[in-house]
Amino acid sequence: MDSEFSVTEIISGDLNNISEIHYQFEEFTYENTTTGITNKKERLSRVYDTIIKRKQYEILAENIRNVLSFDDFIRILRPFVMGYYEDNQLKQAFQILDKDQSGTINIEELANFLPIINEFATTEALKNYIKKVDIDVEDTLTYDQFRTLILKGIGRDIICNHI
């Protein structure tokens, strides 16, 4: 079965204060079936919506230790969810997560903001996903490993419950 995705991003607020971010994923899957001499290709579609408001984030964040500010959360979320990045976005996201400036990100720290995107995304699910996409890590990610994770679409898979 083949699949494709399209992503729409809508940011609300002004230049200095984002109040809401909205991601909509449309997942298309294609399945080939054969009945006798007839071949058929079916296209199925599912839509996933994620809207995160600043106030909502701040309420959820009260129960998370070492929480990111909403603005830092958005800086990390954008490349994470979109699966690509522009200019310095990924480097900036990595530096925000690398709190001790060791050149690596602790997987536990990366997992801290996942429940805000998907309440069922746990540290253990993240570790399993990292193994699934063939990134060999222990408890930390280098910048190159983080970049690979982003490019393989981890954010999309978390939102679409594929981990």
- The pLDDT > 90 percentage for the chain reads 6
SS3 10: strand
Per-residue pLDDT band for 160 (boundaries 50, 70, 90) equals low
pLDDT of residue 136: 66
Q: Give the model confidence (pLDDT) of 58-70 as tens digits.
A: 888 887 777 788 8
Asked if residue 57 has pLDDT above 80, the reply is yes
* Phi–psi pair at 119, nearest 5 degrees: -65, -15
Query: DSSP alpha helices (H): ranges in 50-106?
Result: 54-61, 70-82, 89-97
Those residues whose C-beta lies under 8 Å from the C-beta of residue 43, and which sit 6 or more positions away, are: 28, 29, 30
CA distances from 67 to 62, 64, 152 (A): 8, 6, 25
Tokens matching residue 21: 């971010």
CA distances from 106 to 45, 54, 97, 145 (A): 35, 25, 8, 12
Which of the two residues, 2 and 17, has the higher pLDDT score?
Answer: 17
CA distance between the termini of the chain: 17
Calculate the average pLDDT of the chain. 81
Which of the two residues, 102 and 66, has the higher pLDDT score?
Answer: 102
Among left, alpha and beta (phi > 0; psi -120 to 50; other), residue 134 is: left
Cβ-in-10-Å burial (0-12, 13-18, 19+) of 114 comes to buried
pLDDT of residue 1: 58
The two beta strands, 17-35 and 38-53, are: antiparallel
Q: Give the model confidence (pLDDT) of 140-153 as tens digits.
A: 888 888 888 888 77
Which of the two residues, 120 and 34, has the higher pLDDT score?
Answer: 34
Per-residue pLDDT band for 54 (boundaries 50, 70, 90) equals very high
pTM over 0.85: no
- The H-or-E segment that residue 102 falls in is none
pLDDT of residue 25: 82
Cα gap 111→122, rounded to integer Å: 7
Cα gap 128→35, rounded to integer Å: 37
